[in-house]
Structure 1
Amino acid sequence: MTCYAIGHLRDVEMGEEIIAYLDRIDATLTPYQGEFIIHGGEKHHLEGLFQGDMIVIAFPDRDQAQAWYESPEYRQILPLRRRHSSGDVFLIDGVGSDHKATDILTA
């Protein structure tokens, strides 16, 4: 099942270290088959007020996502982002194409 690494980042201070992080993150994703699905972008608000940037990276499964986050290559660049942003980061499993909203009632 596809697993997503979700980042809701706020207060990003664009500068040398964030640019270095951005320059290096793609190479950390490749061994784990990670790919950006959403990386910031213009938001069209329908409800509420979402502040900050949304980042979504898809991985083939939870094991690959966790291995990427814990990899020495990613751990080396992670402080570059943490020093210049705040926010929430988590992994969440996707659902199959046959998923119905009511499936959560039996989970």
Structure 2
Amino acid sequence: MTTYAICHLQPRATGPTPQEVADYIERIQATMDPFGGHFLVHGVEPEVVEGPWPGALVMIGFPDAAAARAWYASPAYQQILPLRLAHFTCRTVLVDGVPPGYDATATAHAIRSAAGGDGA
């Protein structure tokens, strides 16, 4: 099951140093390649339709949770991570996607059944 690394980036008050940010961006792909990581969203400001969302979004897909965790903990990524953290406030999460054939209706039915409902 695909696992996603999602990062909400907000520039620090002092603003990013373009050279260090460019260095981080230039080097990140090589840290992801051994783990099958690829960008799905990279540094865009989303169209906010609900709630506050200052900043930009990055989303990286990995083949599975083990690959995502191994990438984040890898010496190659840990070496460049301070370049990002020095210039951005970040909230980063790893989250599993849904399995193939996922059906939200079946999830609703399971919730109703667990709550003692009839599932109808």
Shared fold (TM-score, shorter chain, > 0.5): yes
Cα pair 2:6 2:58 within 8 Å, conserved? yes
RMSD: 1.7
- Name the larger-Rg structure: 2
Shift of 1:17: 1.1
Alpha-carbon displacement from aligned partner over 1:52-102 (angstroms, at most 9, x marks no partner):
111100000000000000001001000010111102011000002322235
**Structure 2 portions without partners, runs of 5+:** 115-120
Helix, strand or coil for the counterpart of 2:98? coil
Question: What is the identity percentage for the equivalent residue pairs of Structure 1 and Structure 2?
Answer: 43
Shift of 1:18: 1.0
Equivalences for residues 1-107 of structure 1 within 5 A:
1-11=1-11, 13-102=16-105, 103=107, 105=111
* Count of matched residue positions in the alignment of Structure 1 and Structure 2: 106
Paired residue type of 1:9:
L
CA distance in 2, matches of 1:16, 1:95: 38
CA distance in 2, matches of 1:69, 1:24: 14
Q: TM (normalized to structure 2)?
A: 0.80
Bigger CA drift: 10-19 or 33-42?
10-19
Bigger CA drift: 96-105 or 67-76?
96-105
Alpha-carbon displacement from aligned partner over 1:1-54 (angstroms, at most 9, x marks no partner):
100001001115142111110010000010000000011224323222321111
Question: Structure 1 residue runs of 4+, over 2 Å off?
Answer: 40-49
Paired residue type of 2:6:
I
**Structure 1 portions without partners, runs of 5+:** none
Helix, strand or coil for the counterpart of 2:44? coil
